[in-house]
Structure 1
Amino acid sequence: MKIIWTFTLLMIPGVVSSIEVTGYSGGGVKISCKYDERYKGNEKYFCKGQRSDCTYQINTNEKNKWVDSGRFSLYDNTSSAVFTVTIRNLRKWDSGMYYCGAEKIISYSSTEVNLKVITDQPIVRGYSGGNVIINFKYETQEETPLIFICKSGECFPVINTNRASEWKHDRRFSVHEGRSAGLLRVFIRELNENDSGEYMITVKVSEDHSLFSEFSLNIEKDDCVKSISLSADAGGSVNISCKYPQSHSSDVKFLCWRSGADLCAEETSVNESRRWRREGKIQLYDDREERLLTGSISHVTEQHSEYWCGVQSDGGHKSFITRVLINLTETSPPPSRPSHKPTTDVGTTENQVFCMVIT
């Protein structure tokens, strides 16, 4: 995921202001610096290093037009006394201390910017017929920040009018804003190839402060079963088995159930091979050599009849690949606990094999 954070900084003569900025490798950041109107005619600069030895990354006397210098761009808006610096294609070594200012020499009226670049961000991929959840970390003190989801220039707003965390829905998009954790989750359901493209998540904190997150979503076709139906007695148990590609053997696998608008009300995950993991009424076993995830669900009820299996990437993004529907029956032989190497007879209802794929 590419992250662009936009900040507006106020430079007060005689006072050193500073800010912490986090960007992601391959993404970019935008930093807007306000200056005193008496400096409108001065050269604007953005440099890296300590105050006594700061190397210009970009500097210009141009007004009201973008000026480029490699991966750096600067725009001096003299009407508002603000100049904006953009850094594109961030790299790990871009981390460090920077200064932006409106004087020809670095003085105590400049603004200190501490940039940290996080590397190894995952690519978001989904598969036709499945779903994805994309996470975006942010911080805001605003009571009702305005959130936009955009694709190819088409945007729709999602507004949370209270401090309670809840899902907001628009067509196949859902957004969950958890302010206590500073986490925005975007859920896209029923994926198809037309969903591929460039996306942007914007959190407008105030008139001059917004956070941006850009990511590319690639939707691919696969031969996996998108939905399976199993049968079980009310209060009984049911077993499932999931085959996955070798390229995802080291990823975290999960199984969760859906409750109303809550897209994943309770989840059990496993990130170790050949070791049972139990949480609540779900237990999972991942055999990475066989590329097989085995699960057992106990105490099945009508309220807990829809489950999803999927994979979680390093960045926390989740792909829900196969929906598991459990039909309650009056009589059904009780399933035994799945063995460490369960059978893969797709003709039975107790042991179905399906596929999960994500990067």
Structure 2
Amino acid sequence: MKIILTFTLLMIPGVVSSISVTGYSGGGVTITCKYDEGYAANKKYFCKGQWSYCTDQIKTDKKDKWVHSGRFSLYDDTRSAVFTVTIRDLTELDSGTYWCGTDIYAKKDLYTEVNLEVIRDQPIRSVRGYSGGNVIINFKYEKQEVNPLIHICNTATYQCFTVINTNRAAGWEQDGRFSVQDDRSAGLLRVFIRDLNENDSGEYQITVKVSEEYSFFSEFNLIIRDDDCCVKSISLSAAAGGSVNISCKYPQSHISDVKFLCWRSGADLCAEETSVKESRRWSPEGKIQLYDDREEQLLTGSISHVTEQDSEYWCGVQSDQGHKSFISRVLIHVTETTSSSSSSSSVKSQHLRMCIK
């Protein structure tokens, strides 16, 4: 327990400050608290409750090293005269008023009020991808922050990708195999990792730095496998104006997931997408039609009115959280149109549908 003597402190301008912090259930927040340089040697603490009487969540006199207590961690950076508090595995019950405090013997403690709001969310736990493929990971957030700084890090190797987004209608920001799209209108952060290999497996953290005072984050496990079931690359030929048929196997673990076929245009991995949610039922009529045979673990597609732009597609699966795993790359070599080849492709497409039905 910590009793804070504040009946006179409130009358001193600039001593008591207040910050508002937003976090998401299952994720975490990092809060930065400043203090006077003259109190670098003093104990620092983080407590919860009424301003006059609160319960310590973590307290330490250790300097320049992380100290942990359950879900709470504290680092006192004496050179910068700030201490940092991290809270993990947030729940809505963590919402409330906290205090960053500097323990001063026989005097009034210095402190900062922290008002934490935890928004209910479905946390990212694990994402599965496959060697040679790609993944898109969705991170939802409700608050539309102003020009947030975004970090994506492999916590084991400390390899990080950083991007700051100042455009509401932002496209993909790319750094090597990593890309990020911050769709503020949808409250959705998308992380794209291409050319996966098994070394990419491990723990990752997505951090959104809102201000100098706080950031929120989500941690997840990325699992990359090399599954024998699936072909990494498929090469096909089609006549311009005709049709082409595609067949992609997928792992048994994705039987109940949504399947999709995605057209790639330049740097845009998913310029257009067609998906199918039910087994043994064709997707609606259109340029691309799909059929998912879950007993055979086979996604079949038909692309009509082929043009030279239809040179690359990806077969993939989508989890119930919207994360996408691109499994098989489909390269289509489009030849000049001929009446015979066009007719032959049309007959094959009709025959394919008759056989599956």
**Superposition TM-score, scaled by structure 2 size:** 0.74
Q: Which residue of 1 aligns with 2:243?
A: 237
Task: Write the deviation string for residues 166-196 of structure 1: whole angstroms up to 9, x where unpaired.
Answer: 3333333333343443433332222222333
The answer to whether the aligner puts 1:184 opposite 2:189 as a matched pair is yes
SS class of match (1:316)? coil
Mark the runs of 5 or more structure 1 residues left unpaired by the alignment: 1-10, 344-359
Show the 5 A alignment for 1:1-359. 17-24=19-26, 27-34=27-34, 44-48=44-48, 55-60=55-60, 66-77=66-77, 82-88=82-88, 90=89, 92=91, 95-102=94-101, 110-116=113-119, 118-119=121-122, 121-137=124-140, 139-142=144-147, 146-151=149-154, 152-158=157-163, 164-223=169-228, 224-278=230-284, 280-329=286-335, 330=338, 331-332=341-342, 333=344, 334=346, 335-336=349-350, 338-339=352-353, 342=356
Distance in 2, matches of 1:288 and 1:49, equals 53
Report if the CA contact (8 A) 1:122-1:315 is conserved.
Answer: no
Report if the CA contact (8 A) 1:39-1:102 is conserved.
Answer: no
Report if the CA contact (8 A) 2:30-2:215 is conserved.
Answer: no
The structure with the largest alpha-carbon Rg is: 2
SS class of match (1:278)? coil
Bigger CA drift: 329-338 or 299-308? 329-338
In the TM superposition, residue 266 of structure 1 has moved relative to its aligned partner by 0.5
Report if the CA contact (8 A) 1:230-1:327 is conserved.
Answer: yes
Amino acid of the residue matched to residue 307 of structure 1? Y
Q: Which residue of 2 aligns with 1:348?
A: none
Q: Flag the 1:314–1:21 CA change in 2: closer, same or farther, 3 A.
A: same
Distance in 1, matches of 2:176 and 2:277, equals 33
In the TM superposition, residue 307 of structure 1 has moved relative to its aligned partner by 0.9
Residue correspondences, number: 328
In the TM superposition, residue 98 of structure 1 has moved relative to its aligned partner by 4.5
Q: Flag the 1:299–1:12 CA change in 2: closer, same or farther, 3 A.
A: farther
In the TM superposition, residue 21 of structure 1 has moved relative to its aligned partner by 1.6
Distance in 1, matches of 2:20 and 2:262, equals 43
Report if the CA contact (8 A) 1:295-1:338 is conserved.
Answer: no
Q: Flag the 1:219–1:22 CA change in 2: closer, same or farther, 3 A.
A: same
Distance in 2, matches of 1:337 and 1:122, equals 43
Report if the CA contact (8 A) 2:178-2:193 is conserved.
Answer: yes
Structure with the higher helix share, 1 or 2: 2
Distance in 2, matches of 1:52 and 1:340, equals 76
Distance in 2, matches of 1:116 and 1:19, equals 11
The two structures, once aligned, show a CA RMSD in angstroms of 3.9
Task: Write the deviation string for residues 235-283 of structure 1: whole angstroms up to 9, x where unpaired.
Answer: 2222333333332122111111011111110011222334432274222
Q: Flag the 1:12–1:256 CA change in 2: closer, same or farther, 3 A.
A: farther
Q: Which residue of 1 aligns with 2:10?
A: none
Mark the runs of 5 or more structure 2 residues left unpaired by the alignment: 1-12
Report if the CA contact (8 A) 1:12-1:36 is conserved.
Answer: no
Amino acid of the residue matched to residue 20 of structure 1? T
In the TM superposition, residue 322 of structure 1 has moved relative to its aligned partner by 0.7
In the TM superposition, residue 341 of structure 1 has moved relative to its aligned partner by 6.4
Amino acid of the residue matched to residue 159 of structure 2? E
Amino acid of the residue matched to residue 216 of structure 1? N
Q: Which residue of 1 aligns with 2:4?
A: none
